[in-house]
Structure 1
Amino acid sequence: MNDFDSVADWIAAAFLLVGAFLCLTAGVGLLRFPDVLSRMHAGTKPQVMGVLLIMIGGAIRLTGWSVTWMLLLVAVFQLITAPVNAHMVSRIAYRRRHVAPEHLFVDELGVAPRGAEVQAGERGRRGDEPADAPVDQGPGPTVAEDDEAEDPAADEPAGGPRR
């Protein structure tokens, strides 16, 4: 074994350990943080970096182009899917009102930015629309409200209509 293999092993081990630590902190953050936005942040930022460091450590240690391309493909898919996942989770949490307004700096979909006071006669979304502007009713009904809607199949027995 030459010196280069020893140095490459140590570098790969360092990348793998730091990546594993970041993935562990992401998991602990998902369990310990109190609200959706904090959990979403913990589930995406350190986890993506941890997976990328593990992929780099694997690419340093493993040999062959097929392995390197596979690790690169995993890293690219991780970089593509994690932001989309975080965006969708945050949208669903906001629409289901699981996000506390005091945790938002700017609420572009809600009533007013944090710290802004809406005057008594202003009913618009951002407080800059006239008082006679139509009132925005917010997001549509939740899934629970949709389930409570009349369902014609609900009156039928569990096995379907009898003939």
Structure 2
Amino acid sequence: MNPVIEVLFFVLIALGLFFMFIGPLGLIRMPDFYTRAHASGKCDSLGEGLLLLGFILYEGFTFNMVKLVFLILFIYILTPTATYAIVRAAYVIGLKPWKVGDERR
């Protein structure tokens, strides 16, 4: 394997793991449902995408690479859509957003 691609592979995997660990931290630190959903949705889709890009570099040009590209596309389409639907449902049933000075929920 080319050393440049190998370093890029490790960097992408490390960045993906970093964002996958930051997502749960956002769930703990954020004050309400809406900001928690935002933190977890963004970090999960970015972390998974970076991990899969690293796996693509590791795999090379094979049929498995095509499968990983489709996984990235599905993740980047479905994760924001699902997060939006969940947050929209919470807003419709009347869950109020957190404001400065309010108690954390």
The bucket for the TM-score relative to the shorter chain is: 0.7 to 0.9
State the alpha-carbon separation in 2 of the partners of residues 9 and 66 from structure 1: 20
Which string of whole-angstrom CA distances, capped at 9 and with x for unpartnered residues, describes residues 16-63 of structure 1?
A: 000110111112212331211101111111221111111111111113
Alignment counterpart, residue 46 of structure 1, candidates 36, 43, 46: 43
Unaligned runs of 5+ in 2: 101-105
State the alpha-carbon separation in 2 of the partners of residues 9 and 37 from structure 1: 38
Which string of whole-angstrom CA distances, capped at 9 and with x for unpartnered residues, describes residues 111-160 of structure 1?
A: xxxxxxxxxxxxxxxxxxxxxxxxxxxxxxxxxxxxxxxxxxxxxxxxxx
SS in 2 for 1:74: helix
Q: How does 1:120-159 map to 2 (within 5 A)?
A: none
Give the TM-score taking structure 1 as reference length. 0.56
1:100 paired with 2:97, answer: yes
Aligned to 1:129: none
Aligned to 1:88: 85
Task: Give the superposition deviation at 1:7.
Answer: 1.8
In terms of fraction of residues, the more helix-rich structure is 2
Paired AA for residue 94 in structure 1: Y
Task: Give the superposition deviation at 1:99.
Answer: 2.4
State the alpha-carbon separation in 1 of the partners of residues 57 and 66 from structure 2: 12
1:55 paired with 2:48, answer: no
Query: RMSD across aligned C-alpha pairs, in angstroms?
Result: 1.8
Percent identity between the two aligned chains: 22
Larger-Rg structure: 1
**Equivalent residue pairs, number:** 100
Task: Give the superposition deviation at 1:102.
Answer: 4.3
Unaligned runs of 5+ in 1: 104-163
Task: Give the superposition deviation at 1:88.
Answer: 1.0
State the alpha-carbon separation in 1 of the partners of residues 99 and 93 from structure 2: 16
Deviates more, 1:70-79 or 1:27-36: 27-36
Aligned to 2:31: 34
Paired AA for residue 42 in structure 2: K
Give the TM-score taking structure 2 as reference length. 0.83
Task: Give the superposition deviation at 1:65.
Answer: 1.9
